[in-house]
Amino acid sequence: MSTTKSAIFMTSYEFENIVIDEMAGNKLFCTFIEHDKLDETLHSLTSRYAILYSKIFVLESPDTDELILTYNIDINNNNSQNALSNTILLHRKKESNTLYTINALNALIKELNAGVLDINYRIEWPQYRNTILLTQDGGLRKVHTKIYKIVEI
């Protein structure tokens, strides 16, 4: 691992325009921001979305200079059609607090299973505690995280 910190959101992760009105229910989003954009982004999130559980988790990583905001929104009670820029849809494995995209999950399974994607493959989730699994340039990236702060809405 390099000692130089990298920018997560400036790289080619699975960023696409997320059209919120095509999804239903509770979704977990992750937005990558620079430190100096925290207050502005929190204001934008709270004015744009109905944040579930009244919490936005602000994470940091030793691998990057950015902050990582995770939050659940109720798709049915929002007033915006598109997610903020530098935002991805995530899934969470609760027992290990592992966050992941579906593409990253598939890449992890292939990495652990000799290149074979087997949807029944059992992952040892505790090995990925407090990690975000992302894909970049066709490969898997593991971003270790810790809580920077929890914002109560």
Spatial separation of the C-alpha atoms in residues 60 and 144, rounded to whole Å:
8
At residue 72, the 3 state secondary structure works out as strand
Q: Any idea where the domains of the chain sit in the sequence?
A: 20-152
Per-residue pLDDT at 30: 95
**Residue 150 class from Cβ within 10 Å (0-12 exposed, 13-18 middle, 19+ buried)?**
exposed
At residue 48, the 3 state secondary structure works out as helix
Q: How far is CA 13 from CA 78, 86, 148, in A?
A: 25, 9, 22
What's the pLDDT tens digit per position in 13-69?
A: 444 444 444 445 788 999 999 999 999 999 999 988 889 999 999 999 998 889 999
Percent of the chain at pLDDT exceeding 70: 80
Per-residue pLDDT at 102: 94
Flag whether the pTM goes above 0.85: no
Beta strand 131-136 with 98-100 is: parallel
What's the pLDDT tens digit per position in 122-147?
A: 999 999 999 999 998 889 999 999 99
